[in-house]
Structure 1
Amino acid sequence: MKKVAILTFHRALNYGAKYQAYALLTAVNKYSDGYVLDYRCEQIEQFFYKTSGLKSRIKKMVKWMLFPTYMGDLKKRENRFREFDRFYKLSRKYTARNIEQADSEYDLFFTGSDQVWNPILSGNDVNYFLPFCEKEKRNSYAASLGKARLDDFNKETIKQLLMDFKNITVREKSMVNEIKRVVPQVNPVPVCDPVFLLEANEWKNNLNLEEQTKKQKYIFIYIVAPETNAVKKAKKIAEKNGWGIKYIDKGRKKQKEIEAVNDAGPIEFLNLMLNAELVITTSFHALALSLIFHKPVQYELSKERVNANSRLIDLATSVNMMKYEITEINDDIYDDYNWKEIDSKIGDMRSASIELLNKMIDD
Structure 2
Amino acid sequence: MKNVVLVTWIGGGNYGTSLQSFALHKKLSDLGYKTSIVIPFFPIKHNLKSFIFSALTMFGLSKDKLKQMLRGDTRNVKQQKLDKFENRYYDKKIICFPFLLHFLNKSTDVYVTGSDQIWNTVYRFDPFYFLDFAANVKRVAYASSMGIKDFPEEHKPKVQKLLSCFSKIGVREETAVKAISKILNRNDVCQVLDPTFLLTKNEWIALSEDAEIEFPIPENYIFCYFIGNNPWYVQQVENVKRVTGIQHIVQVCLYGVDCVELPDATNIYWDAGPIEFIRLIKDSSFVCTDSFHATAVSINLEQNFVEFMRFKDSDKSSQNSRIYDVLNHYGLSSRIYNNEKSDWALPIDYSLITQKLDSDREKSVNFLINAIEK
User: Aligned residue for 2:235?
Assistant: 232
Matched AA of 2:26? T
State the secondary structure of the residue aligned to 1:22. Answer: helix
Matched residue type, 2:148: K
CA distance in 1 between counterparts of 2:81 and 2:186 reads 44
Q: Distance in 1 between matches of 2:303 and 2:95?
A: 39
* CA RMSD in angstroms, aligned pairs only: 3.3
Secondary structure of residue in 1 paired with 2:142: strand
CA distance in 2, matches of 1:115, 1:214: 33
Q: How many angstroms apart in 2 are the aligned matches of 1:192 and 1:254?
A: 32
2:31 is equivalent to residue 27 of structure 1:
no
- Report the counterpart of residue 50 of structure 1 in structure 2: 63
When residues 209 and 229 of structure 1 are mapped into structure 2, their CA distance, relative to the original with a 3 A threshold, is farther
CA shift, 1:245, in A, is 0.8
Per mean C-alpha deviation after superposition, the further-off stretch among 345-354 and 326-335 is: 326-335
Whether 1:295 aligns to 2:303 is: yes
The one-letter amino acid paired with 1:91 is K
Of residues 191-200 and 153-162 in structure 1, the stretch that sits farther from structure 2 once superposed is 153-162
Q: Does 1:247 align with 2:248?
A: no
Q: Secondary structure at the match of 2:272?
A: coil
Q: CA offset at residue 231 of structure 1?
A: 3.6
Cα gap change, 1:209 to 1:307, in 2 (>3 Å): farther
Aligned residue number for residue 220 of structure 2: 217
2:268 counterpart residue number: 260
State the distance in 1 between where 2:246 and 2:155 align: 56
Q: 1-side partners of 2:164 and 2:260: how far apart? A: 48
Contact 2:37 2:93 in 1 (8 A): no
1:100 to 99, 102, 117: 102
Q: CA deviation at 1:232?
A: 2.5
The CA deviation at 1:60 is 8.2
Deviation at 1:311, TM superposition (A): 1.3
CA separation of 1:252 and 1:89: change in aligned 2, threshold 3 A: closer
Q: After superposition, what is the alpha-carbon deviation per residue over 1:190-220, rounded to whole angstroms, capped at 9, x for unaligned?
A: 1110111010111122453569999532110
SS in 2 for 1:165: coil
Distance 1:333 1:355, change over 3 A: closer
How far, CA to CA, are the matches of 1:330 and 1:230 in structure 2?
A: 16
- After superposition, the Cα gap between the structure-2 partners of 1:41 and 1:324, relative to the gap in structure 1 and judged at 3 Å, is farther
- 1 CA distance for matches of 2:190 and 2:21? 19
The share of aligned pairs that are identical, in percent, is 24
Would you say 1:325 and 2:327 are equivalent positions?
no
**What displacement does 1:233 show?**
3.6
User: Which residue does 2:167 correspond to in 1?
Assistant: 166
Distance in 1 between residues matched to 2:358 and 2:185, nearest whole Å: 31
Paired position in structure 2 for 1:198: 199
- 2:25 partner letter: L
- Separation of aligned partners in 1, 2:372 and 2:261: 48
Secondary structure of the corresponding residue to residue 348 of structure 2: coil
- For residue 127 of structure 1, report the CA deviation from its aligned partner: 1.8
Contact 1:220 1:246 in 2 (8 A): yes
Q: State the Cα deviation string for residues 222-251 of structure 1 (Å, max 9, x = none).
A: 112354654434334436735311122163
Distance 1:329 1:244, change over 3 A: farther
Kept in 2, the 8 Å contact 1:5–1:35? The answer is: yes
Cα 1:152–1:90 shift into 2, 3 Å: farther
Describe the shift of the 1:317–1:118 C-alpha distance in structure 2 as closer, same or farther (beyond 3 A). closer
Q: TM-score, normalised by structure 2?
A: 0.82
Residue matched to 2:47: none
Match of 1:343 in 2: 354
Answer with 227-236 or 174-183: which moved more: 227-236
In the alignment, which residue of structure 2 is the partner of 1:181?
182
Q: 1:269 to 1:244 in 2, by over 3 A?
A: same
Relative to structure 1, is the Cα distance of residues 332 and 314 closer, same or farther in structure 2, using a 3 angstrom cutoff? closer
Residue in 2 that maps onto 1:86: 87
Q: Aligned partners of 2:149 and 2:325: how far apart in 1?
A: 18
Aligned 8 A contact 1:219 1:234 in 2: no
Q: Name the structure 2 match of 1:117.
A: 119
Where does structure 1 lack aligned partners over 5 or more consecutive residues? 66-70
Q: Distance in 2 between matches of 1:186 and 1:355?
A: 18
TM value normalised by structure 1? 0.84
| Aligned residue number for residue 68 of structure 1 | none
Partner residue, 1:17: 17
Q: Is the 8 A contact 1:16 1:285 kept in 2?
A: yes
Kept after mapping to 2: 8 A contact 1:110/1:138: yes
